[in-house]
Chains A and B, each alone.
Chain A
Amino acid sequence: METFVQVLLDGMLNGMVYALVAAGLCIIWGVMDVINFAHGEYLMVAMYVSYWLGFLLNVDPLLSVIAAGIFIFILGAMTYQLIIRYTIGKPGLVALLATFGLAIFLKNACMNRFSPNFLILTDTWLSDKTLHMGNLIFPVPQLVAGLLSLVVVGMIYALINTTRFGWAIQATAMDRDAAELMGINTDRIYLVVFGIGGACVGIAGGIMPSYLAVHPEVGSMFGLIAFVCVAMGGFGSIPGAFIAGILVGSVEALAGFYIAPVFKYIAVFGLYLTVVFLRPKGIFGW
């Protein structure tokens, strides 16, 4: 029983990070109906930002989080300005394939500049520390990453639901033309939403180098898991993406521990298929 709780909690901590990555994808999807295929690659770039800050300037990932968030915010806004802007109103496949091209570009640009080797930061503030609570053991880096993700997802949710700017985002998501008639600059809303979506994944990627190695392929799996979380949670629903993220993290950890490590992703994708076959629009979709 104790092992079960331990594995479950580990999975949930991972799941919170998934939830943050998924929340970034979720608002982009919810507002613009665009699947950002380069989302996992944003995460990878954020990890490189955090790694190089730590390696060259000795900045701890805990502080680099801010830099990585800002960097990916700019990257996201640039993606919108240079690519996505031209795909709005065209078939959904166009934006998906354009961001797929961006993903190939980012992955190989990083491979070219930083080599395909695994890079890991040692001696960070958090590395190798653990927290004992009774018989349960928490690795501190994962714990901090999970709690940080929880806070950021909460902030995004509050931003969208309580501020004037958030209402403008919601209005744009509901009906672009009507929102424009109400005097909302929807082009700017899209730009900022893409930036915020990027910032979410930037923050997640910023903290990760304190416990995960960086390499050009690291983002692909996170990206796929984020798609699954968002679709499982339901179209554009941040609470849905959050719950789905935690669910995916738990199932991944439990299947990896109790069945076999190779089965963890089979279980995750199987879970997605089960959920959407029962509820074709996801848990919170309608």
Chain B
Amino acid sequence: MQRKALNKKDALWLGFVVLLALLPLAPVVAANSFHMHVAILILLFASMAQAWNIIGGYCGQVSFGHSVFFGIGAYGAGMAVVTYGGTPWPGILIGVMLAAAIAVVISYPCFKLSGHYFAIATFAIVEIFHRTFLVWDWVGGALGLDYPLVKEGLKNLMWYDTKTGYYYCALILFLLIFGVVRWLEGHRFGYYMRAVREGQETAESLGVNSTAVKLAAMALSAALTALCGAFFVQYNLRVDTPMVMSLDMSMKFVLITVLGGSGTLVGPLLGAAVLIPLQEYSRALWGGLGGGVDLIIFGLLIILIVVKQPAGMIGIIRDIGKRVLKQKSAAKGDSADGTP
């Protein structure tokens, strides 16, 4: 019974992914590069939020420091191309490993802090990195790094004519990170993480080494975040500190995951699928009116969603599902099981 339900869910996912993969073939989307841009950003931000979800959602450690790892990944790719004039690939590899290493080093003392003290410590770390990178000439300083025009293709991870190449890269990134989290959900380590989230002392009393679990989750999350950062900079063809390593960027990780539903597999995708089009289309519609209107609406919507449904969109969907179930079962005459 359990096995069958799992298969049905996975088949649903498979169908969804095929749909995503075929999206660029639809002339409505591919002919309009703005729609394509939005689709790429949705996939990218869903991946970023999912990477954050590992430590923030499943492991329960709310980090506002993920833009540090995002930035390290971005600078890794950027410097490999701009400073050293090569392909981005070795830079991506170094960035990912460096992000994981730095995550372990800075998280180890931070995990001793609890609640708001932890959150504010991660704010402080972002600010320290932000300001250091801003004056560090080796990484481009305040000017940032501008990409030179090199031959397009997978070798340089760069396309100019169409965004299709970027789209498929974003899709692969999305599948990779969602796959990792899907695998973690059923794996022993995933249960450890959730145990630490629900009660650290209880988990430790049952023999879970909570510090090791948190550090491993943070390293994995940071490495995947750095991968997203590298893709982001390849897409943007420019990297500077305020763009990739600021508190605003950090907040995006948290916001998308929490609005979608943190600690769930679909949550980050839901959050990105709602917030990113909202941000991009409202900017396109009202961005020219003298500034701010798009963000005013964005701010109000965040308040509304967070206050109305703290569990995120997944909570809204569950509420609707429950109501439908209740109606069905009322018709049948037996009580519905509340758990989804």
Q: Which A residues contact B (CB, under 8 angstroms)?
A: 29, 33, 35, 83, 86-87, 90-94, 96-98, 100-109, 111-112, 116, 224, 227-228, 231, 235, 260, 262-263, 265-266, 269-270, 272-273, 276-277, 280-282
Q: Which B residues contact A (CB, under 8 angstroms)?
A: 62, 109, 112-117, 119-121, 123-125, 127-128, 131-132, 134-135, 247, 251, 254-255, 258, 290-293, 295-296, 298-303, 306-308, 310
Interchain CA distance A235-B298 in the complex, whole Å: 32
Is there contact, CB below 8 Å, between A86 and B307?
yes
Interchain CA distance A113-B295 in the complex, whole Å: 13
Is there contact, CB below 8 Å, between A90 and B296?
no
Interchain CA distance A273-B255 in the complex, whole Å: 25
Closest B residue, CB atoms, query A281: B117
Residues of B within 8 A of A111 (CB): 291-292
18 A-B Cβ contacts within 8 A? A35-B116, A91-B310, A98-B303, A98-B307, A101-B300, A102-B303, A105-B296, A108-B291, A108-B292, A108-B293, A108-B299, A112-B292, A227-B120, A266-B128, A266-B132, A270-B124, A273-B109, A282-B117
Q: Does more than half of chain A's interface fall in helix, strand or loop, or is it mixed? A: helix
Is there contact, CB below 8 Å, between A101 and B301?
yes
CB distance from A283 to the nearest CB of B (A): 12
Interchain CA distance A29-B302 in the complex, whole Å: 21
Residues of A within 8 A of B113 (CB): 276, 280
Is there contact, CB below 8 Å, between B302 and A98?
yes
CB distance from B115 to the nearest CB of A (A): 7
Is there contact, CB below 8 Å, between B251 and A93?
no
Is there contact, CB below 8 Å, between B299 and A262?
no
Residues of A within 8 A of B290 (CB): 112
Instruction: Across the A-B interface, give the 9 residue pairs with the lowest CB-CB distance, nearest first.
Output: A101-B302, A105-B299, A104-B299, A108-B292, A112-B292, A269-B124, A101-B303, A108-B295, A111-B292
Closest B residue, CB atoms, query A104: B299
Partner among B131, B258, B298 whose Cβ is within 8 Å of the Cβ of A265 = B131
Q: A97-B255, A108-B295 are in contact. List 6 more A-B contacts (CB 8 A).
A: A86-B308, A92-B115, A96-B119, A104-B295, A269-B128, A276-B113
Interchain CA distance A35-B251 in the complex, whole Å: 14
Residues of B within 8 A of A101 (CB): 298-303, 306
> Contacts A104-B299, A108-B299, A112-B296 known; A87 to B310 CB distance under 8 Å?
yes
Is there contact, CB below 8 Å, between B303 and A93?
no
Interchain CA distance A272-B24 in the complex, whole Å: 49
Is there contact, CB below 8 Å, between A108 and B131?
no
A103, A106, A116, A269 pick with most chain B CB within 10 angstroms: A269
Interchain CA distance A281-B303 in the complex, whole Å: 30
CB distance from B183 to the nearest CB of A (A): 26
Is there contact, CB below 8 Å, between A272 and B121?
yes
Residues of B within 8 A of A227 (CB): 120, 123
Residues of A within 8 A of B124 (CB): 228, 269-270, 272-273
Interchain CA distance A100-B119 in the complex, whole Å: 14
A97, A107, A262, A270 pick with most chain B CB within 10 angstroms: A97
Is there contact, CB below 8 Å, between A93 and B112?
no
> Contacts A104-B299, A112-B296 known; A97 to B117 CB distance under 8 Å?
no
Interchain CA distance A239-B254 in the complex, whole Å: 32
Residues of B within 8 A of A228 (CB): 120, 123-124
Is there contact, CB below 8 Å, between B310 and A35?
no
Residues of A within 8 A of B254 (CB): 93, 97
Is there contact, CB below 8 Å, between A97 and B306?
yes
Closest B residue, CB atoms, query A79: B303
Is there contact, CB below 8 Å, between A97 and B120?
no
